[in-house]
Amino acid sequence: MATTSPGRPPRGKARRIYERYFSDVPVFSTSGAGFSPLPWVYRRVLWLFAPREWQVLTYLTMRVGPEGVCWQNDKEIAFDLGIGPRKLAPHIKGLRDRGFVRIVEDQGQRYLCLPEPVGVLRRLVEKGEIHGERLRSLNDDLEVMGLEPFGGAQEEAAPLQISASTKEAVPPHG
């Protein structure tokens, strides 16, 4: 069992589990070069993306720098993803149309920018594309992250009632 040296602060549950069970496993370092963070807020909205669209978004996330900008062409992106360039265009367009990617062309070069995702998700909430239980879960994560939850979503769900005739849960009248 691993121990910490005197005077060191606790390292947290994940570190304790790693030291206890996986201390012989080399893991990817998230410090320094070679690391691209994936916004944590995406974990609650994976359902918004078709699998290929999600692959394109995560690829672009890995290609942008701290400025959120990259300029790979469709042939390069398609090669890296193992698809044809023509199959790529609809996915980039879908991401653009919903605000997850912004595109500018200048002097024959296309530039892609990935906006901060919380703002994009806020607009989707305002348009009604994220609502109900999915919105409540997203708001729970925003609170954990110390961010303001999206408005109008934290209303308490009315308790279900049991129908006397069918013995099934039904929403209350009202």
Residue 50 has pLDDT above 70, yes or no: yes
d(CA 44, CA 49): 11
Does the domain at 36-152 match CATH 1.10.10.10? Answer given as yes
- Per-domain boundaries in the chain: 36-152
Average pLDDT, the chain: 83
Q: State the pLDDT at residue 164.
A: 61
Phi, psi of 104 (to 5 degrees): -135, 140
Mean pLDDT over 79-93 rounds to 95
> DSSP class of residue 127?
T
Share of the chain above pLDDT 90, in %: 60
Task: Give residue 3's pLDDT band: very low, low, confident or very high (50, 70, 90).
Answer: very low
